[in-house]
Every structure is written in structure tokens, then in C-alpha cells.
Amino acid sequence: MKQIRGIIVSVVLAGVVLGITQAHAQRNEMPAGYPQSLEADLASLLGRLSDGNVSSGLLVQLASTYFDLADDLLTDEKKRRTAYEAGAKAAKQAFELDESNADAHFFHAANLGSAERLRGITNAAMVVKEIKHCAMRAIELNPKHAQALQMMGGLLMELPWFLGGDEKKAQEYLERAIAADGNFTNARILVAKLYKKQDRIDDAKRQLETVIRADHPHYRFAWERTYKPEAERMLGELGTRRAN
């Protein structure tokens, strides 16, 4: 029973990882000194909040900064989890102030999923339910919210069927994410994996080549270090293969 539970948790973690992989703020260019500059960004935001300048938008900026800090700068697992938890709290406060703020719902899901991933997800079904609810609410509020669409696609791509996994729906969400904003390059990588499974090799290659050639990818830090190398690796594995 413990072994089965461990397998289930591992699968859920994979889904959460894919869902939140590209949840960062839309930084087309890296600020000078990034990611160390995030500490100053965080201090500035906290200072503005302490001065009483509380708004849903400012809290979303705080949630996004906590997420980036944990993802790109911090290395201690406990500190990373604390940052994600603070980000989830800030995002929740943001949508409590303004329920119509799609980014607030999205960053709550992103930070919550990341914190639970580090914790190991002891209540997997409940966490996944909340993540999906927040992502779906973001999409309801903004049907072209590319990050939330990519998150749903990543989750549905890897979750087991009894937790709502569905590759057909995953593909639909990922294609919608690309149509909404193709500069979030991880959606292209994920959909390329689905195309490969369907033997749509040329379509998969086109997506990967677009990732590699991206002129203005959102969040260039992750694109340079993760998404472009992964696309190059996948394209190399496909080689000269063609669909049957």
C-alpha cells in the first residue's frame, strides 16, 4: 500500500511540476544583476505595503517576486518553501481584495503547487483540486491567460485519470496557451511531447524550432537555462524522423 501511495504521489508531483513550470512574471529581458536583484525588489514591495499602499495589483507583484525568488535564487529547501508559502498568501490576499484579478488566482496556484511539491504533497487530491480551481478561475476571468492555460495543460497531461488527467484536454489547453501568447515557450515544449506521442513528428519539430528561435521569450532567464536546451535536446532526439 505504501509503495502504491508513493507512486501516486510521484505522479501527482510530476503533474504539479509541469503545471507550474513557467509561472513567472513576464520578463522579456533579464534585469541587471538578476536573480540577485530579486532581494531588492522584494524589499521595495514590502516597504510599499508597510506604508499602507495595499492593492490587489501590488500583492500580485509580491506573489510573483516570491515565486521567482524561490525558483531562481534561493537554494535552501526550507527557505524556498517559506517563500512559496508567502507568495501563495500574498496572492490569496490579492484575490480577496479583488476577486476579478486573474493573475492573483494564477499565482496562488503556482506558489501553492511549488510549496506542496517541496513538502511532498501529503494531501495530494486536495492540493490538486485547489490548484485546478484557481487556474480555472483565472481562465474564466481571462480566457486568454496564457500562463493559466499552460498550467492546466501541464497538469492534465501528467495527472492520473482518477485525479482528472486527460491528454486530449491537455492538448487543447496548451494549444490555446500558444495561440494566446506563443512567447511562453514551455507550452510549446509540452505540446511537442504530445505531438510526438501521436506520431505528428513534423508538428512537434515546428514547435521545438520555434522555441529555439524565439526572439522575445517571456522570462528569458528560464528560456536560456531550461527551455531552449530542452527543445534542442528533443529536436536532436527526433533527428530526421518523419511520421509514418
Asked if 208 and 189 count as a contact pair (C-beta separation under 8 A), the reply is yes
pLDDT in tens, 54-82: 999 999 999 999 999 999 999 999 999 99
Residue 206 pLDDT: 98
% of residues, the chain, pLDDT over 90: 75
Asked if 16 and 58 count as a contact pair (C-beta separation under 8 A), the reply is no
Torsion angle defined by CA atoms of residues 93, 94, 96 and 100, in that order, rounded to the nearest 10 degrees: -160
Residue 4 pLDDT: 36
The whole-model pTM stands at 0.89
Q: How far apart are CA 12 and CA 17, in angstroms?
A: 9
Inform me whether the pLDDT recorded for 6 exceeds 50: no
Residue type present at position 182: G
Mean pLDDT of the chain: 89
Domain boundaries of the chain, sorted by first residue: 2-238
Residue 204, SS3 per DSSP: helix
pLDDT in tens, 204-238: 999 999 999 999 999 899 999 999 999 999 999 99
Asked if 123 and 160 count as a contact pair (C-beta separation under 8 A), the reply is no
Residue 12 pLDDT: 57
Average of pLDDT values for 158-177?
A: 94
Q: How many CA atoms lie within 13 A of 186 on its CB side?
A: 26
pLDDT in tens, 75-98: 999 999 999 999 999 999 999 999
DSSP letter (8 states) at residue 75: -
Instruction: Compute CA distances 175 → 16, 151, 170, whole Å.
Output: 19, 12, 9
CATH topology of domain 2-238: 1.25.40
